[in-house]
Amino acid sequence: MTELYTNLSDIQADLQQGKTSVVKLVEEYLSQIKLHSHLNAFLEVFDQEALGCAKALDDKIKSGKAGKLAGLVLAIKDNICYKDHKVSASSKILEGFTSIYSSTIIERLLAEDAIIIGRTNSDEFAMGGSNETSHYGPVKNYADTNKVPGGSSGGAAVAVQAGMCHAAIGTDTGGSVRQPAAFCGSIGLRPTYGRISRYGIIAYASSFDQVGPLARSVEDAAILLEVMAGADEYDATISHRPVPEYQKDLAFKGKKKIAFIEEALTSPGVDQEIKDVLLQYIEKLKSEGHIVEPISFEYMDYVVPTYYILTMAEASSNLAKYDGVHFGYRSPNATDLESTYKKSRSEGFGKEVKRRIMLGTFVLSSGYYDAYYAKAQKIRRLIRDKTLEILHDYDFILSPTTPTPPFNIGENIKDPIVMYLEDIFTVQAALAGIPAISLPLGNNAAGLPSALQLSGKCFDEAGLLAFSKYFLELSKN
Ligand code: GLN
């Protein structure tokens, strides 16, 4: 492949000058998809459709009427509904299901002339952190095919990593954009809860789910956020705040106050190289005149259990509709209504999804509701309050994105506790509803992508993105 573009603006400049065409770009991505099919990143490639759109877009560009995203070839995670296209949440229970409408974000992306090249593999119903729970098999990390790409948006991250598209759209319930971005070397942004419409996104845990971009540059993450964000009458939890022109406002000046999570440097569970990277950036920021101070987050031990109790409870309710009657898989072995429900669900859902539905049902059941669900709700409030308190005193919170580098396929899947603990640094933002971004910082000694996470104040994506751009420039010095 010719050298990958980092910025959409460079693609657009080359398109204007006739140095390339959208058809040529799509053809190149399609050939990369073919070349890297063993990575298992795509569940379906919309090749003919993407080429058709590319031809039409080349004409539109000539007429000077193309949208903001002209030239951007995108992959979408397989839990985002796109009218007349299959969507399965990487689950057998939705095998063969075709969406009858488009999510709000798809409509907005298409209206600005993005081209959607295919749907990407993910953990089943976005439940996982390694892309190993997919009914369609694991995705492999392009940097080392024995390693996981992270999850649940693992296919999206690898599609960007291996040049199979320019950027991708994932969803982040507790880290599913940021963690795979960290494991595959791209930028992954989780916006503030309520910034982007969830309409047409297959729900996992509704009070946590957010859409987010995986991109090669902060500029592109900004423009994708700008296009997708904003009020939507189909999402009752959306914010009606105006959407800033994020991409125009990326200049950073001044000095900031940054807190870093002290436990990240002291905990034996955090990889030494990740600690070293964190320390190195703390020193860099200090030498640039920023205030960088350690804080101890007193609820650190509670973030993972609270996240899992609440998301499993919400998942058990959200997934009740997959009953073998309304849509998706129906067991051929069923003989009556009850066995249709039982057999379709038993055969249609994978092990991890069933574990979560059962645990979620348990924590919501009378007799246990107060001890688990209600208590977890209270702890979520404490975590949110404490997080917002920190962000009252500081502009950003700096932490690793993940406690470990990409791990081996098969290494953690047998032990859910080990797998869930991988989310230790990403679930705080999800519980608190704040925006957070994972920033790629080169490779570790083993040649695997390395990253850090910055979290910011609610609805200050503009500040977070501008600082992220500056932070990445700092990494080059
Ligand atoms: N690993 C987390 C989980 O399994 C996060 C998943 C996500 O953000 N969708 O719940």
Cβ(360) – ligand 1 distance below 6 Å:
no
Q: Assess whether pLDDT exceeds 70 at residue 206.
A: yes
Q: Which two tokens stand for residue 96?
A: 């063969």
Share above pLDDT 70 across residues of the chain, in percent, rounded to a whole number = 100
pLDDT band at residue 475, thresholds of 50, 70 and 90? confident
Q: What's the CATH number where 150 sits?
A: 3.90.1300.10
Q: What are phi and psi of 98, to 5 degrees?
A: -110, 135
From 311, 303, 129, 126, select the one nearest 207 (Cα to Cα): 311
Whether residue 192 lies inside any domain: the answer is yes
Share of the chain above pLDDT 90, in %: 97
Question: What is the reported pLDDT for 249?
Answer: 86
Distance CA 403, CA 391 (A): 22
Q: Which atom of ligand 1 lies nearest, measured to the CA of 430?
A: 8
Q: How far is the CA of 174 from the centre of ligand 1 (A)?
A: 5
186 within ligand 1 shell (Cβ under 6 A): no
Strand stretches in 253-355, DSSP E: 257-261, 291-295
Distance (Å, whole) CA 439 – CA 447: 17
Give domain status of residue 224, yes or no: yes
Across 349-365, average pLDDT? 98
At 2, the pLDDT band (50, 70, 90 cuts) reads low
- Where is average pLDDT lowest: 232-236, 444-448, 473-477? 473-477
Please report where in the chains the tokens 């059941």 appear, as a residue. 365
What pLDDT sits at residue 220? 98
| CB distance 129 to ligand 1 below 6 Å | yes
According to DSSP, residue 131 is labeled: S
Q: What is the mean pLDDT of the chain?
A: 97
Mutation choice for ligand 1 from 423, 427, 438, CB with most ligand atoms inside 8 A: 423
> pLDDT of 275-333, one tens digit each?
999 999 999 999 999 999 999 999 999 999 999 999 999 999 999 999 999 888 999 99
Structural domain boundaries enclosing 226? 8-248
Per-residue confidence (pLDDT) for residue 1, from 0 to 100: 53
Ligand 1 proximity of 126 Cβ (cutoff 6 Å)? yes
126 CA to centre of ligand 1 in angstroms: 6
- pLDDT tens by residue, 410-458: 999 999 999 999 999 999 999 999 999 999 999 999 999 999 999 999 9
CB burial readout 48-59, b (16+ within 10 A) else e? eebbebbeebbe
The answer to whether residue 376 sits within a structural domain is no
Cβ atoms of 329 and 95 closer than 8 Å:
yes
Give the HSE-up count for residue 8: Cα atoms under 13 Å, Cβ half-sphere.
24
Q: Establish whether residue 91 lines the binding site of ligand 1, counting it when its CB lies within 6 angstroms of any ligand atom.
A: no
Decide: 170 in ligand 1 pocket, CB within 6 A: no
C-beta of 173 in contact with ligand 1 (< 6 A): yes
Separation of CA 179 and ligand 1 centre (Å): 9
The predicted pLDDT at position 216 comes to 98
Identify the pLDDT of residue 429: 98
Contact 181, 188 (CB under 8 A): yes
Q: What pLDDT is attached to residue 366?
A: 94
Q: Give 20-45 pLDDT, tens digit per residue.
A: 999 999 999 999 999 999 999 999 99
Write the DSSP symbol of residue 18.
T
Atom 5 of ligand 1: nearest residue by CA position: 174
- Which atom, in ligand 1's list, is nearest to the CA of 175? 8
**Mean pLDDT, rounded, for 229-237:** 98
Which of 91, 99, 134, 176 is labelled catalytic? 176
Q: Has residue 243 been placed in a domain?
A: yes
pLDDT at site 328: 87
Cα separation, 175 vs 403, in Å, equals: 13
Q: Is residue 169 part of a domain?
A: yes
**Predicted confidence band at 135 (pLDDT cuts at 50, 70, 90)?**
very high
Among 234, 209, 212, which Cα is nearest to 222's? 212
Q: Is residue 314 part of a domain?
A: no
The verdict on residue 402 lying in a domain is no
CB 140 within 8 A of CB 154: no
Q: What is the Å distance from ligand 1's center to 181 Cα?
A: 13
Q: Does the beta carbon of 204 lie inside 6 Å of ligand 1?
A: yes
Known catalytic residue at 176: yes
**Is the residue at 395 inside a domain?**
no
CA of 430 to the centre of ligand 1 (A): 10
**Domains identified in the chain, total number:** 1
- Told to judge if 103 belongs to the known catalytic residues of this protein, a careful annotator would answer no
Indicate whether 211 pLDDT > 60. yes
- Average pLDDT of the segment spanning 199-218: 98
Q: Please count the other Cβ atoms lying within 10 Å of the Cβ belonging to residue 445.
A: 8
CB 196 within 8 A of CB 190: no
423 in ligand 1 pocket by Cβ < 6 Å?
A: yes
Tokens at 144, concatenated = 């080392």
pLDDT in tens, 76-121: 999 999 999 999 999 999 999 999 999 999 999 999 999 999 999 9
Clarify whether 91 is annotated catalytic: no
CA of 420 to the centre of ligand 1 (A): 8
Distance 147 CA to ligand 1 centre (A): 18
Mutational test site, ligand 1, from 148, 176, 438, max ligand atoms within 8 Å of CB: 176
Our mutation pick for probing the ligand 1 site, out of 173, 356, 402, 424, counting the most ligand atoms within 8 A of Cβ, is 173
